[in-house]
Amino acid sequence: MLSKRLTEKCRLRKGITRRSFMRGAGAATLSFTIMKPSLVSGTEANSRLEVGVIGLGGRGKWITGLIEKHGGYQITSVADYFPAVVNAAGEQFKVSKERRFSGLSGYKKLIESRLDAVFLETPPYCFPDHVKAAVEAGCHVYIAKPLACDVAGCLTVAEMGRKATAADKVFLVDFQTRTHPFFIEGIKRVHRGDIGKIGMLSSIYTDEAFPDPPKTTTIESRLQRLIWTNDVALGGGMLVNCDIHAIDVALWLAGKKPISATGSARVAKANPNGDTNYLYSITYEFEDGVILNHRGEHLRNRKGFSSNCDAYCLEGFLETSYNGQVRMLGNKTGYRGGKVEDLYRQGAVQNIAAFHTSIVNRIYDNPTLEPSVNSTLATILGRQAASRNTKVTWDQMIKGNEKLEVDFTGLKE
């Protein structure tokens, strides 16, 4: 999850479909939103979609505010593991007390309310179970990244996403970079061959990490304030949860998933309480010979936030940055691009608008599903290779079907 410093600006215009919007893109606390199927049929298609939100701390509450501002949604239910959090959000978003749910099973009660769609902003260990329940209940799904913490979870989400598509339901993954015109245009030009074939990709993600206090008798204290990013089974660890933004851009440029990864990693920081590494150096290989070098750094050392990916091609290069410049220089052509501003907010706003457009216009191509599954699996591949200090192939990772267990002992149902 990105640094809190990152931070809307898109209006839904009638007649713009999600297919046309997404074409150029190529293919905590708990947060989850749901909408009633009856609202997207017949004369009710222009009505506001009823939504419920699960997880109202941090980004979940922020996303809920953006949902409210959109105007096409009505927030009718909220849930969070922590009762105080859900009640505070319920008051803010004017949700009746009987539609506020807490505990581990709060999402089930929301889904039983038969609303229209789900917005998932939970720690990613929740996603496979929440997605499965939502899709089987006939809900549209809006989900954050990463899609899971382990291979088994990713495969479940992928299966459920395909099931949603077959059932004419919208399934959208909230990657912000894939909405930005500079990224879309620059990567389109690389794919067109303007600066020749890609030789090498280079990505980097840095941040100041998140709180990592001493553990308590249960994991309850780890389920808030992004503490769960430090725990591999809860949040995937730093590489999977954070670096996925830079690696997703690399895979977008490559146009395919990697076949293997080799890497090293270390904790480095003093007195860690979670089990993630905080420094990564990983080399991914692709079938066509392209290599991707990725570096990740998550220490409180004043380096700050960056999420960049560069493509070194035979006749030029492309630079991309989440909060910096996008530009292309080539021997024969180039692309000026420009400074990326406020992408954290603007990307979320555009995705919330695209989600609504797709539902009311019955656009079920769901182009974000496959690339987002591959990006999540690629970070898991990198985590496995780096933590073992060896080479792991994609096929080995899939065959191993890693499944991480979370200890819920002592938590409230």
In a domain, 348, yes or no: no
- pLDDT surpassing 60 at residue 326: yes
pLDDT band of residue 16 (cuts 50, 70, 90) is very low
d(CA 283, CA 318): 19
Predicted pLDDT at 57: 86
Same domain? For 254 and 385 the reply is: yes
Same domain? For 191 and 321 the reply is: yes
Candidate ranges 39-43, 52-56, 134-138, 327-331; pick with highest mean pLDDT? 327-331
Same domain? For 43 and 125 the reply is: yes
In a domain, 413, yes or no: no
In a domain, 325, yes or no: yes
Same domain? For 193 and 49 the reply is: no
In a domain, 353, yes or no: no
pLDDT in tens, 160-183: 999 999 999 999 999 999 999 999
DSSP 142-160: EE-S-S-SSHHHHHHHHHH
pTM score of the predicted model: 0.90
Q: What are phi and psi of 73, to 5 degrees?
A: -120, 150
In a domain, 266, yes or no: yes
Region 127-146: mean pLDDT is: 94
Same domain? For 200 and 216 the reply is: yes
pLDDT band of residue 53 (cuts 50, 70, 90) is confident
Query: How many degrees, rounded to 5, is the angle at CA 317 between CA 258 and CA 198?
Result: 35
Q: Which domain holds residue 323?
A: 180-340+372-400
Total domain count for the chain?
Answer: 2
Q: What is the CATH number of the domain that holds 276?
A: 3.30.360.10
Q: What are phi and psi of 16, to 5 degrees?
A: -90, 120
Decide the pairing of beta strands 279-285 and 325-330: unpaired
**pLDDT mean across residues, the chain:** 90
Q: What is the CATH number of the domain that holds 99?
A: 3.40.50.720
**Residue bearing the bigger pLDDT, 215 or 79:** 215
pLDDT band of residue 54 (cuts 50, 70, 90) is confident
d(CA 328, CA 313): 10
Same domain? For 132 and 191 the reply is: no
Same domain? For 294 and 329 the reply is: yes
Helix (H) or strand (E) holding 257: none
Same domain? For 224 and 301 the reply is: yes
In a domain, 54, yes or no: yes
Predicted pLDDT at 247: 98
Same domain? For 85 and 229 the reply is: no
Contacts of residue 334, defined as CB under 8 A and 6 or more positions apart, other chains included, come to 316, 327, 328
pLDDT band of residue 14 (cuts 50, 70, 90) is very low
Same domain? For 197 and 328 the reply is: yes
Predicted pLDDT at 235: 97
- pLDDT surpassing 50 at residue 5: no
> Is 103 within 8 Å of 110 (Cβ atoms)?
no
- pLDDT surpassing 60 at residue 302: yes
Same domain? For 22 and 163 the reply is: yes
pLDDT band of residue 234 (cuts 50, 70, 90) is very high
In a domain, 5, yes or no: no
> Is 383 within 8 Å of 240 (Cβ atoms)?
yes
Please count the residues of the chain.
Answer: 413
Predicted pLDDT at 397: 98
Pick from 48-62, 220-234, 250-264, 322-336: least confident: 48-62
pLDDT in tens, 360-379: 999 999 999 999 999 999 99
Whole-number percent of the chain with pLDDT over 70: 89
User: 3-class DSSP state for residue 178?
Assistant: helix
In a domain, 208, yes or no: yes
> Is 380 within 8 Å of 240 (Cβ atoms)?
yes
Predicted pLDDT at 52: 85
Same domain? For 141 and 237 the reply is: no
d(CA 65, CA 99): 18
